[in-house]
Amino acid sequence: MEGELLKYSPASEHLAFVSGKYDRHVILIAGLTEGMLGLSYSRPLSKALNNLHWSLVQIQLSSSYSGYGTSCLDTDALEVHMLMQYLRQHHASKSIVLLGHSTGCQIVVRYMQKRSTALADGDACKQALGEEHVFNRMALRDTPPILGTVLQAAVSDREYLCWAHRDFMEAAQGKAEAMIKAGQGDDICCRFSPMGGAPISAFRLLSLYLRFPLGDDDMFSSDLSDEELSTIMSPLSGAGIDDSPAEKHRTTMTPPNAPGPSPATLILLSGSDEYVPPFVDIPVLADRLARAVGPSTKHSVVQGGSHALIGNEKEASDLIAGFVSELSCPT
């Protein structure tokens, strides 16, 4: 696959690989233990998007590969925001689609949650992880409009871990909870053998595994109520910056993040996902997730597809590119 490797911030780990020279960008966010160029459908997807005059951007985060154990979704969301700012400033990006794979889906949802909160109350929502990158209403004006989101393999870490690694998780949970109570939530709890053996903090371990209270990463579990799912997922359909007189009269030097239609969403699950326990009805889950986002959300299940859609690359790229082709792009 040909493209450009770039740094979207001074940090050495903040890299992205851009395939295509077009000013509309699909940002592909991989899952736990993964990074750039790790998904086999990225190559055919890049070609399909280029045919539509879109570029594919694969992001490397500080949580990529073994970094997930000491990171969190808030940090991931901030880094996605930084990439979007970079694409706006250096690639004249006009439009964005966020495409999450596996835990990348949680990152997409968290970004949209923060975006929704910032747009609703920008002054109150200054949840910065660095003073120069405040995630608020003003900062969102420096990013291209988000036309859509795709959640590919949006499935539950908790249900998988309970099903496949219960003994390990129950032992680790007790240690992690004790560390949290002692104020050591950011300290390393153990090596996380269920997912590659990376060192993992007490906070991140419980984020992946807790039901009561709900872990920070727990967004797609089949036992969540409709109300819980709606609270988590509805920001995906949130509109951009409102169509107020002040917004209408911004200068052309300030890129608009809207007004315009609400972002569209595609839920794309795999019929034979090896990380989904047998008691989960995958088509029902796809339908519930779509309804939680909003009535116009599309959903599809790739029959026989694995978690990463290995062997179904063309079908995956066709579905995603087809979704992108239907989006209304600003000129």
Domains and CATH numbers, the chain: 4-156+219-325 (3.40.50.1820), 160-209 (no CATH)
CA nearest to 29, candidates 150, 148, 156:
150
Name the maximum alpha-carbon separation found in the chain: 59
Assigned token pair, 238: 């949130």
Strand order in the sheet with 4-7: 4-7, 15-19, 55-60, 24-29, 95-101, 146-152, 264-270, 298-302
The pLDDT of residue 128 is 38
Q: Provide the residue type at 96 as one letter.
A: I
Q: What is the pairing mode between strands 198-201 and 4-7?
A: unpaired
* Displacement of CA 231 from its chain's centroid (Å): 16
The pTM (predicted TM-score) of the whole model is 0.90
CA distances from 38 to 59, 64, 92, 217, 256 (A): 11, 11, 27, 22, 33
Q: What is the pairing mode between strands 15-19 and 4-7?
A: antiparallel
Assigned token pair, 72: 């969190």
Within the chain, which residues score under 70 in pLDDT? 121-139, 239-261, 331
CA distances from 298 to 96, 115, 328 (A): 18, 21, 16
Q: Dihedrals φ, ψ of 18, to 5°?
A: -105, 125
The pLDDT of residue 44 is 98
